[in-house]
Amino acid sequence: MSVERAYIFPNILPENGLIFPLAQLFDQLVFLRPVEDDLPEIDTPFSPEIADQPGKGGCVNYSCPAPLVGDRERFLILLRDIRSRPEDYAGHLGNLSAGLGNMVRPNEQEQSIMDTLLHQTGIRAGSKDNTLEPRKGQEKNASSALLWQARLLLKLGESLDRNQADIRRNLDRMTRQQGELFRELRKGQEGEHTEFTELVSPLFSTDNEISLKQQRLRLKAWSRLFALSPDRFETTAFISQSPDTVEALLEYYRQKYTGAAKLLLSLPLPAFFNEEHDALLKRDRFQQEAAKLELIPAIRALPITHTSADSVFSEKAETAWTDLLERHYPAAEHGRCILTLYFLSGITPQRLFLETFADHDDISAREAVEATGTGTVLGILTR
């Protein structure tokens, strides 16, 4: 099995903290979009540069599993109205979030809240190609409302993510400036060998920026939409920056299916880049040398049917990878993050996400995916 691309979850907004390290390894980075033809605005230095490279390794792609088709404009009108008059919708949105976060709340209550929001602007959620084909008409209406609800929550959360991305970028810049200042102050000093590694680590941790409760809210919305993806994802790794999210998936798999997930590898990657440098050119040079050493194909050839000892990525290759990283991305300048990959056999990613985060009440959505498949490659990116 060769993993060529990474599907990021539950983020729908590309950020340098995700794109830069993962672009060193994967051909494509995929983000779910709640609405078709609605690409996010990316104003970070590295992201637009790499996104404008169609057909080249590491380009950013977007997937909309449940297009709104004829209802797209209706949804965007509702979204614009909410953003322009947030105080008028505060109560409804609070109830909507509470309903989505409660695992035992009936679908009918969530649908009622969504209908109220739509009716407030004279809009009705359509039931075209954006919903599953149900057994009963009532199920179709419920599926439509749930999907509109999921899209709405993800889109409203996108604005918050953009603000947090700005904070992360500024704090990363401060981290680099601190490190550079410290190195300048140490020049000429003798007998000082202490490594202040904390000065080259990001000051902002993504682990705690969103609470587990809020994260599960987004994951439930994300999973409802992703469950409609028709792809098999046999060459895709699903990667998150949230340890709690990945642990929830692993724990559900341990309890529901026989055996634990298999640890595939743990790989260091550069954490951040200096904005004044040509990041895309550095990435291309890194990949070219890694290709000559046959490192990237060895890493991607994950041993899902063998023991860890049978991995093509040997201890010798690990050393070569670490040395290559240090030549192109010195840890003192670029920091390090760790990508850990697991294999969960016998379950499709659609089924895994749906059962873990959304299957308690999305009855009709169970028809969207097959119960079994080759398996799912799951990853966590930590700093």
Condensed to tens digits (0 to 9), the pLDDT of residues 233-242 reads 989 999 999 9
Indicate the average pLDDT of the chain: 76
Query: Secondary structure of 273-311 in the HEC alphabet?
Result: CCCCCCHHHHHHHHHHHHHHCCHHHHHHECCCCCCHHHC
pTM of the model: 0.78
Stretch 89-117: mean pLDDT: 55
Stretch 310-338: mean pLDDT: 86
179 versus 241: which is more confidently predicted? 241
Write down the pLDDT at residue 111.
Answer: 54
Condensed to tens digits (0 to 9), the pLDDT of residues 7-25 reads 999 989 888 888 889 999 9
Q: Which of 126-135, 141-150, 151-160, 173-182 has the lowest mean pLDDT?
A: 126-135
| The 5-8 sheet, strands edge to edge | 59-63, 28-32, 5-8, 236-240, 375-382, 337-345, 262-269
Q: Which residues contact 163 (CB under 8 A, 6 or more apart)?
A: none
d(CA 241, CA 9): 8
Write down the pLDDT at residue 298.
Answer: 87
188 versus 368: which is more confidently predicted? 188
Write down the pLDDT at residue 157.
Answer: 80
Q: Which of 26-35, 127-136, 138-147, 243-252 has the lowest mean pLDDT?
A: 127-136
103 versus 271: which is more confidently predicted? 271
Residue 177 has pLDDT above 70, yes or no: yes
Residue for token pair 């040997």: 314
